[in-house]
Structure 1
Amino acid sequence: MKAIIKSILLLMLGGLSVSSCVKYDAEPFEGKTLPRVTGYSTGVTNDWLYFNLRTGERFNALAPNRDIPEGEQRDRTDWDLAFCGYRLRTNSGTSGDGLGGAIDLGYGNYDRWTSAGQLPVDAPWVEDTDTDVYVTMSQNDWNKYLIEHQLDFNENPWFDPNRGPAKMLTSANPVLAQSMSFSGPPPVYTPSFHTYAVRTADGKRFFKIQIISWYDANTEIGDTGGRISYYCDELE
């Protein structure tokens, strides 16, 4: 319950303008926040930030594709979890050659899960696919797509008032894709507050994760996306 209460307070604060004079005595968020915004707003569609949960190492933390260019992650086992906007990858299936994957442990109860021995033995570990999850295309990549296919810019706008910005399929984890839902326009990002278990690339260690917010509580909400805030701890 502690995690859920903190989550609600964080979302309330995230909706406040930085110019607001209202002060809330909310308990500080003790989880993690991505080091930078990822995804289409950086001008790169598949802008993934990778984490090695076993060592704490981060890849592409300073700029898109700087350490692990898109596509090269498949042959590497030195990463376990990745973020692009509000989508996530595990080192499994179409995303990587590792033994990763994810399972849904249900709504809330983040503090309940403390050890790998608690994980359901019959739970199907879901690997990444490239046929189920969409990411928002950057406007630069959408323009390149129109030019390549000789399509009219006016008839094919990047942002459609009825459908939102252009999207494309990517390689990602379909279970973790349920951790955050999108509706709009106007854009509304709603976390499921489910707890998920993630298996590392070597298949030997397990981490729990709960997505808290798409917004950065320290900045004013705009159209450039947000930075995922989340809890992530190892299951001993």
Structure 2
Amino acid sequence: MSNEILKSEIHVIKDFSAVTQPNAYNYFSLTSGTEVAAADSKTTKWDLAFSGTTILTNGGTSGSGQGGAIIVEKPFDTITEAPKEGYKVDGGSGNAIASGSGNSWYKYDMSVHAILPIVGRTIVVKTAEGKFAKIEFISYYKGAPEDVPTEESKYYTFRYVLADENGRF
């Protein structure tokens, strides 16, 4: 059996740590479902890189891969096929997965001072190798608390599905 995870199966990643140092990232492979060493940041071994609320894709100015992303205003479970076009890549005008409240996967709730995922919004990622995955962010806090987060931040919990060779989930 190879180290590739099964397509169409929902994978849940709990408490993946985003580094807190400026301009430093923790790298993740959607294909293997594992963290990738920073030493491999110049390769196509990773698909997403996390630093605080910033998420990079392995393409454009951020990596040597074919990576990109598109924000889809639909719930995760209703997306059955990867969009054919419209993917953004990291570049001078911003990242494929934009930072800032309301711009991609999260909103900042000033009343409770918390980063909260936007319900009903899914990110479809083009991987470093040109394949597709859909991702739903569940929490930005350690342990993915359901109430107002009081736990440590910069711990991503998310679920994702890899598409088949035809881009279907």
The TM-score, its normalising length taken from structure 1, stands at 0.54
Q: Is 2:127 the counterpart of 1:200?
A: yes
**Residue equivalent to 1:126:** 88
**Residue equivalent to 1:169:** none
Deviations 1:204-225 (A, max 9, x none): x111001111122377725x52
Q: Is 2:153 the counterpart of 1:225?
A: yes
**Residue equivalent to 2:13:** 32
SS in 1 for 2:77: helix
Counterpart Cα distance in 1 of 2:111 and 2:92: 25
Over 3 Å counting, the alpha-carbon distance change for 1:216 and 1:120 in structure 2 is same
Deviations 1:24-61 (A, max 9, x none): xxxxxx8321343x232xxx1233211122233412xx
Q: Which amino acid aligns with 2:135?
A: I
**Residue equivalent to 2:163:** 235
Higher strand share: 2
1:44-59 equivalent positions in 2, closer than 5 A: 44-59=21-36
Runs of 4+ in 1 over 6 A off after TM superposition: none
Deviations 1:156-198 (A, max 9, x none): xxxxxxxxxxxxxxxx434476101235486221211311111
Higher helix share: 1
Mark the structure with the bigger radius of gyration: 1
Unaligned runs of 5+ in 1: 1-29, 60-66, 133-171
Over 3 Å counting, the alpha-carbon distance change for 1:218 and 1:181 in structure 2 is closer
SS in 2 for 1:232: strand
Task: State the aligned residue count.
Answer: 147
The TM-score, its normalising length taken from structure 2, stands at 0.72
Unaligned runs of 5+ in 2: 1-10, 165-169
**Residue equivalent to 1:93:** 60
Task: Determine what percentage of the aligned residue pairs are the same residue.
Answer: 27
